Structure 1
Amino acid sequence: MSNGLGRAELGSHTRSFTGCSTCRSRHVKCDEGRPTCSMCTYFGLKCAGYKKDIFFDSKNPDSRIRFRRPLFTEEERIHMSEWLVSAAPPKSTHKLLAQIDEECENAAVSEEVEISYGPFGAFRAQPPQTVQVASPSPCDRPPPAEGSDTTTELSPPEDVIPMIDPFPAASGISAWSPGFMQSILGQPDGDPSSSSPDLLDMIMDQVPFDNHTIDPADCQLTSIISDSYCNPPISPPSLIHVPGGTGALPQDAVFLLKHYSSTVISLMTPVRHKKTPWHVLFIPHAKDCLAALALGEELNHASLCAFYGTLATSAFSLGGVSRSQSWLDQGHQYLRQAQEHARKMLMAAYNIPKPAKYKSTLMALLTMVQLSNFCGNRNEAEGYFLEAEKFIRLKGLKRKKSRKVRLLHHCYVFERMFHESIFLGGANSNQRRHIRRAIESSGLAPASVDGLSFRLYKYNNLHQEMLRVRGREEGENDLHLERPGTFSATLYPEIFGIPETWMILLSMIIRLGTEKDAAEQQNNPNELNLKDFIGRAKALEDYINHLERPSQIAPGLGTHQSSVDQHILENMLEAMRQALAIYFYRRIYDLDASMLQKKVADVRDCLLQCEYADSSVVHGSAGFIWPAFIAACEAEDPKVQESFSAWFEVSAQRSGLSSFAQTQASIEKVWEEKRSSNGSSTTWVDLMKRSVALQQ
């Protein structure tokens, strides 16, 4: 009886690259036993053995995914290993080295010297002129043509070891020649997902890099990397034109990816383990794109958007660190390319058949969100946030979510919450209304557990609701954390080091603030009455003020952290805890700033503690910059204000990103407004609403 699910719905079978031919043809797991596998023995089948074969899965001509099978048979691999061991015996190595030195010394200055001793071109001795082949084997040279002489006419000198290439290529390419390696690693029919990224990793490891300083004396780049590290490229960007390809490969791509993985990632998360979304998704995706471009392949707009957006972010960071206008010009070039690909991607994002994978499109949108935030362009970030929300609600909530998809959803929600807490006054913008109408008209709105606008979820007892255990569907499809409760499968602690409960509290403050704004504008027929509003605000205030201390939380979050990193994480959590309270009192009660100065000083002290713990840390994950902004806007003591200004200046210098300088400028504008108004009630909330209204 069929269950109604086809192969496409169940997913493709797992491919085995090294199993026997029988198991591969049956699509079952092979234990690779010799001479026959136990699976074939168990089912009474004849084991077809382990033959050499290269196979590229090209059933879908639009797919870049290919699978390469082993090149050599088991017998050939054993023979190759034995031959390599005997190729340059230890007793003869010194003689071969002496020969190399002698050839180099005797060669004329103008003469080009090519050494080809040994199996890999290092110690290959001069072979005899003719070699007798008695009984060819699969690993020996093919027999000579009929009528040719098969006897050895000249014997090699005693100090020279005759070498026979055990794997001659019928096409005339030696197994040890550069052309052979190029045919495996670089040909258009190769497998970039298996070989090219490994080659890129080796290249990236050779790129000199320091997280905080640029020393031109250390510039030693490989031939495929530009010398832009010492001499930053100017606009337009330098390109490598790929033979047979339709595009061009940015020369500085490898170096920019190195900087992104070494420095920029630390701005987005305080944790330092290698399982963050950037380590397992964004960086591998960028490497795949680079490999595909190097092989002359066509990429979809989603992949190109993510690729050039990553390069732009890294170039802007380098431009800020090195104070190089050339890097900034390079960043603007990549930014324009990323924006153009993003525009084309969004025009076809909902087409059938889909032009790009769900993860690729969402990664591209999140890359543009990060790029816009780092550039300090909140309006542009708002647009990409809304497009990401629409894409997730229409394409992501009804699907079964893999871990990688959930990682991307967590990244979106985390950044969206902090954006929503500051980007005030845009709740009823034309773009938001358009996005809501598009989601509602699609018929997929019921897949969302939360509402399409940031309105308050109705509950009776907040403490009981926060203890409620949320199921998988509610935990995964409550996109903007509308409903309180606990969800054991949350990934916020693993990615950002912050409990999900704290993110839910931030969401509830945002929603209660939205209710307050609606009541003030008298445009909400279902607004809360004063009694309900005060009751909810009081319950939320009690919960925020009784949050666990970071020392009780951090040990469970920082299992991958060193003692210094653990200390930094604890201070970040304490800064976040205090900033949540400051944000609540300013946004909901509009409390006088003089009553918040103790909490402001506590946030300042947490930032300084992190500085003392590790002065080389690049501050700037959202867990740091958000509490720094919230607290600094309320600071009244000139010395405390000076401390915040110094922190933002240092962070801007270390990260190289303009968002810190622009945030600092916004804070100083708040301070100036307060001074000029002689202590009036002007707050950052008022300024933000005014700024958003003017920009719209």
Structure 2
Amino acid sequence: MASQASGRAEINTHTRSFTGCGTCRNRHVKCDEGRPTCSMCAEYGLSCAGYKNDIFFDTESPDNRIRFRRPLLTEKERQRMSQWLVSTAPPKSTNRLLLRLDEEVESHVTDGGDIQLVMGPFGVFKSHQLQNAHSSPCEEVPAEHEIIETCTSSPPQEISHIIDPFTPVPDISQWSPGFMESLLERPEQDTSPATPDLLDMVIEQSHMANTPVTSQEYQLNTFLPNLYCNTLSNTSLMSPPNLTSAVPPDAVFLLKHYSSKVISLMTPVRHKKTPWHILFIPHVKDCLAALALGEDLNHASLCTFFGTLAISAFSLGGVSQSENWLEQGQTYLHRARGHAKAMLLTAYDIPKPAKYKSILMGILTMIQVSNFSGNRHQAEGYFLEAEKIIRLKGLKRKKSRKVRLLHHCYVFERMFHESIFICGANSVQRHHLRRAIESSGLSRCSVDGLSFRLYKWQNLQQEMERVRGREEGENDLHLERPGLFSATLYPEIFGVPEPWLVLLSSVIRLGVEKDGAEQEINSVGLNLKDYISRAKALEDYINQLQRPSQMSFSSATHQSKVDQHILENMLEAMRNALTIYFYRRIYDLNASMLQEKVANVRDCLLQCEYADSSVVHGSAGFIWPAFIAACEAEDPEVQRSFSSWFEISASRSGLSCFNQTLDSIQRIWEEKSRGSRSSITWLDLMKRAGYQQQGLVI
């Protein structure tokens, strides 16, 4: 019985059909895969969408090897291929053609020369003399009705005069950069008209669709002037000059580096359920497969594809100190920006040009590449676009787990961005975003406000212990309301409890109230008594946070002891950094009173270094507390420790954001040493120089 049960388990390992018709797959029902239409659609009176040719990657194989299923041809293409083969080899002349083929092979074997025949179905045999006196140019494959007429009225054609239009594509799982380069080389002497050959489809240039200038494009060009290398012209988006093929020759190599190295920069956990394992990498693989098959992709998918390649190329360039990789990264980034702009211009069109998840993944990819390249001032525009599409299209829908994963990625990065980017709270872009959401009538779907203002809670302790429902927990986008939400995914993705992010959000909002009062633009804000009361409540709750070693996280249950130790130290560093951020942002406390907290953050970073020197400490959970604490460091030895940590992280990850963050910290140290003012911090320098002009980068 046990063996039978295990046998049934092995048989039912994969329950989802990868080859069902489009209608059944969209409806999530079992498809009998009938040809040309399935009986399930006929039974329910639905229009069968047919069968799509695609490559489906399967990562759930028992031996943990990546496999894929490849239904290359649709039903219509199979019928055309069969009809074409029949028309090229009529029954009466089949024996004669086979004899001629044998004679051709024997003659070349006797001569001892190289055998290169182009005879036979599928082009299996290649001809020694491609240019025969009696040969004629290859013709376009006729339409289906023309094929039928040819079979009945045209004289038999010789097989040697025809090249098969369905030449098999090499196994994509075995592609290497060198093989891809040889595959993508076009013949130097090829004057025959193009045929719908799959190899031609692989090397065909991917052209972007023509997009007219609209009012939304004007808004993008007005409010995001530095976000893209080139703006859209009135006619088309131009492809970058260095990429001449649909499939970049180094795509597979860059994707492997991204999967094995770069993901560790985004999350400290090491399980396979992160959004990058579930969503981003499979999506990029699907894009690679689609480009290899010559399919047209939407701008959202191409944005994610080229943005991912750009991140990986920048990382490789920094690790190897290779200018070629850095230039290649800039080329991919240029192309990703072009697709990002086209994606944003059509994101709200009806019918929709791309799925909601694809668009959001494209924006999140651009946020990642902006942050990793040290351009957080450029990431501001992408953050606002992500917020806009989530509030207009994401909050009103029933959210699947994958959608919620993407929302969590946005909010996590947005909280750290908002804590530092304080000079753009009242920017023109943000005012435009709020007007666009309010005019749509969808602002009611948001539980939180459209601006980072403080929620009117009375007792913080009671509010933090309050259990929030599904709608409030999912639609409180920027964590405005304190409370507990059991379905949160932050511990699983980033190893951080949601209440910690709620506290960070509350400190950010209280700081906004403070700035508004100082600038006399907060006419309906808090009075001094309420401000002090709320600040005291936040201070008490932050100081009473449990130590990470006393907490258990669902994401760490399958982690090794070393990984758990690293997670605990990361959270301890965040706890101390949150305390430093609160006292400097709200009370403007003198830095000399915070040196113990600064040293604690430094010690946590060093303990992680000692635990596993191979770990690249690059997630937001490490770089944010390192920046907040390092800015307040006064002891030269502690400053050198922070400098060493940023330099080591930069060399391991290859990303420029670490060096640029260190440059910003060193500017603060120099300012302190010149002015002998221990109270000065990053906040003062941003207000003095202007973040958008000078730019303190983390």
Q: Please, what TM-score do these two structures have when normalized by structure 2?
A: 0.70
How far apart in 2 are the matches of 1:180 and 1:657?
Answer: 45
- 2:19 counterpart residue number: none
Out of 619, 622, 626, the residue aligned to residue 621 of structure 1 is 619
Q: Which runs of 5+ in 2 are unaligned?
A: 1-21, 54-68, 75-108, 118-123, 125-157, 185-198, 208-244
Q: Which amino acid aligns with 1:13?
A: R
How far apart in 1 are the matches of 2:585 and 2:644?
Answer: 26
Q: Which amino acid aligns with 1:14?
A: H
Cα displacement string for residues 149-199 of structure 1 (whole angstroms, at most 9, x for unaligned residues): xxxxxxxxxxxxxxxxxxxxxx99xxxxxx99964x67xxxxxxxxxxxx5
Query: Which deviates more, 244-253 or 307-316?
Result: 244-253
- 1:519 counterpart residue number: 517
How far apart in 1 are the matches of 2:419 and 2:374?
Answer: 16
Q: 3-state DSSP class of the match of 1:223?
A: helix
Q: 3-state DSSP class of the match of 1:250?
A: coil
- 2:395 counterpart residue number: 397
The CA RMSD over aligned residues, in Å, is: 3.5
How far apart in 1 are the matches of 2:516 and 2:506?
Answer: 15
How far apart in 2 are the matches of 1:551 and 1:450?
Answer: 32
How far apart in 1 are the matches of 2:527 and 2:259?
Answer: 51
Within a 5 Å distance, the mapping from 1:461-610 to structure 2 comes to: 461-554=459-552, 556-610=554-608
- 1:25 counterpart residue number: 39
Out of 235, 242, 245, the residue aligned to residue 202 of structure 2 is 242
- 1:428 counterpart residue number: 426
1:681 deviates by 2.9
Q: Which runs of 5+ in 1 are unaligned?
A: 1-7, 30-53, 60-65, 72-105, 115-120, 122-170, 173-178, 187-198, 208-220, 229-238
1:223 counterpart = 2:179: yes
How far apart in 2 are the matches of 1:291 and 1:69?
Answer: 11
- 2:312 counterpart residue number: 314
How far apart in 2 are the matches of 1:629 and 1:404?
Answer: 31
- 1:644 counterpart residue number: 642
1:378 deviates by 1.4
Q: Which amino acid aligns with 1:566?
A: Q
Q: 1:529 to 1:56 in 2, by over 3 A?
A: same
Matched-pair contact (CA < 8 Å) for 1:17–1:68: no
Matched-pair contact (CA < 8 Å) for 1:506–1:580: yes
Within a 5 Å distance, the mapping from 1:103-252 to structure 2 comes to: 183=168, 200=172, 202-203=173-174, 221=177, 223-224=179-180, 242-243=202-203, 246-247=206-207, 248=245, 249-252=247-250
Q: 1:475 to 1:11 in 2, by over 3 A?
A: farther
How far apart in 2 are the matches of 1:427 and 1:596?
Answer: 27
1:686 deviates by 1.1
- 1:80 counterpart residue number: none
How far apart in 1 are the matches of 2:532 and 2:302?
Answer: 50
- 1:95 counterpart residue number: none
1:687 deviates by 1.3
Q: 3-state DSSP class of the match of 1:242?
A: helix
Cα displacement string for residues 247-296 of structure 1 (whole angstroms, at most 9, x for unaligned residues): 52211111111111111111000011111000111111111111111111
Q: 1:17 to 1:687 in 2, by over 3 A?
A: same
- 2:96 counterpart residue number: none
1:242 deviates by 2.9
How far apart in 2 are the matches of 1:585 and 1:28?
Answer: 67
1:522 deviates by 1.0
- 1:670 counterpart residue number: 668
- 1:278 counterpart residue number: 276
How far apart in 2 are the matches of 1:693 and 1:67?
Answer: 49
Q: Which amino acid aligns with 1:25?
A: S
How far apart in 2 are the matches of 1:262 and 1:222?
Answer: 20
How far apart in 2 are the matches of 1:413 and 1:292?
Answer: 31
Cα displacement string for residues 349-397 of structure 1 (whole angstroms, at most 9, x for unaligned residues): 1111111110000000000000000011111100000011011101111
1:496 deviates by 0.3
Q: Which has the larger radius of gyration?
A: 1
How far apart in 2 are the matches of 1:226 and 1:661?
Answer: 38
1:633 counterpart = 2:631: yes
- Count, aligned residues: 528
Q: 1:23 to 1:436 in 2, by over 3 A?
A: closer
Q: Please, what TM-score do these two structures have when normalized by structure 1?
A: 0.70
Matched-pair contact (CA < 8 Å) for 1:308–1:335: yes
Matched-pair contact (CA < 8 Å) for 1:597–1:635: yes
- 1:692 counterpart residue number: 691
1:694 deviates by 3.3
Q: How many percent identity over aligned positions? A: 67
- 2:379 counterpart residue number: 381
Q: 3-state DSSP class of the match of 2:452?
A: coil
Out of 45, 51, 61, the residue aligned to residue 57 of structure 1 is 51
Q: Which amino acid aligns with 1:692?
A: Y
Query: Which deviates more, 326-335 or 676-685?
Result: 676-685
How far apart in 2 are the matches of 1:419 and 1:545?
Answer: 23
How far apart in 2 are the matches of 1:326 and 1:420?
Answer: 34
Q: Which amino acid aligns with 2:180?
A: I
Q: 3-state DSSP class of the match of 1:290?
A: helix
Q: 3-state DSSP class of the match of 2:551?
A: helix
- 1:44 counterpart residue number: none
